Copies of this chain bind each other. A is one copy, B any other.
Amino acid sequence: MPQQPSQPIRLLVAGVGNVGRRFLELLALKQVPLRERQGLEFAVVGAADSSGAALCPAGLNLQVVIDLKAAGRSVAHYPGWGRPLSSALEMVQAADADVLLEASPANLRDGQPGLGHIEAALSHGMHVVTANKAPLVLAYPRLLALAQATGAELRFDATVAGGLPAINLGQRDLGFADIHRLEGLVNLTANYILTRMAEDGLSYDQALAEAQAAGHAEADPSLDVDGWDTASKLVILAHSVLGQPISLGDVRVEGIRHVTAGMLRQATAEGKRVKLLAVAERQGDGYRFTVAPTWLDATHPMAQLGAEQMGIVFHTDICGVISAAIVEETPLPTAAAMLRDVVGIYSEQLRAGQWEQVGKGQSSTIERGTRSSGV
């Protein structure tokens, strides 16, 4: 059982929508076990949505924030500590905190506002955990360099395949292996639509409507059904797992709009399944990157994934073929992946015998058990 640090770890949450709000709910739910089992104590010292922020150095009452958002109100209305802000960036620049949780909407055009939040945090040496993939898709090398320069950690397990630790698997468990092929079924909307069409005989429009009703598709589903969300995740995997600094323009992208119920019936009759697959395939010194509806044999690890599942497959030189999948009925596991990243930053430091509490005027160190003098 690790000792507790003298001060709680101070978190900022930028974006309190679907994922950010669930992150706060999770934190409230897991406060006690995190303290008792992992020796970690957290305080959310700031939260910002599109209308304002609530900032309290001693830590916000999470239930008050959750209730405000559930009532459709801004955190700017938080009693005593709420305030209108022109942008969440102001909060990141002004607040004294250890970790920024970035959960603003993804914007693949210029990455804003998330990109600005992440840059501001990292350049101050603040760790960043992001569920927002756009900043990584557009500026991965720059953000990584910034993190390395300031000694901050940049984690983003929540950006690919929701709550599945796909990045962790690729980076940490397979970082010493050679991955010659990577396959990702990483967009729930597209998979939901294709699976419902294939299994329940729905038309594309019917399946899309059901996806929207179930909260699995946005009002404008273009990014998902045209393959760009999948391609974005492939770009992040390419950078972080394959060491390939690519951009969206390097991915051949084909969406699912043209897939018909008839094509899916035919595939099923032939024992196949059609999935929107992101693929990185080794070619010479590099990889070929594609996103396209793909006809898979029924024995393929991704073929059997249901409407509410996502997954990933790594074909390696020395670790065999490793696949992983998640059933994700709501964005809760995605929010949990953010919490996993936060916990990961600090529990690794604890395991490695070092605790470094970042923040003005506070610094505490947990010493590792001393080694036996016989060594």
Does A322 have its Cβ within 8 Å of any Cβ on chain B? yes
Q: How far is the CB of A105 from chain B (nearest CB, A)?
A: 23
Q: Which residue of B lies closest to A303 (CB)?
A: B304
A268 to B228: give the CA distance in the assembly, Å.
Answer: 39
Does A111 have its Cβ within 8 Å of any Cβ on chain B? no
Q: How far is the CB of A303 from chain B (nearest CB, A)?
A: 8
> Count the A residues whose beta carbon is within 8 Å of the partner chain — how many?
73
Q: How far is the CB of A354 from chain B (nearest CB, A)?
A: 5
Query: Which stretch in A12-20, A251-259, A344-352 binds the other chain?
Result: A344-352
A124 to B374: give the CA distance in the assembly, Å.
Answer: 6
> For residues 300 through 323 of chain A, which have their beta carbon under 8 Å from a beta carbon of chain B?
301, 304, 306, 318-323
Q: Chain A, 62-76, contact with B by CB distance < 8 Å: what is the 0/1 string?
A: 000000000000000
Interface centre among A125, A306, A319, A328 (most CB of B within 10 A): A319
Given A169-B165, A176-B343, residue A150 in contact with residue B371 (CB < 8 A): yes
Query: Which stretch in A29-37, A233-241, A285-293 binds the other chain?
Result: A29-37
Residues of the B chain whose Cβ atoms lie less than 8 Å from the Cβ of A142: none
Interface centre among A168, A169, A325, A359 (most CB of B within 10 A): A325
Contact call B177/A173, Cβ cutoff below 8 A:
no
Does A80 have its Cβ within 8 Å of any Cβ on chain B? no
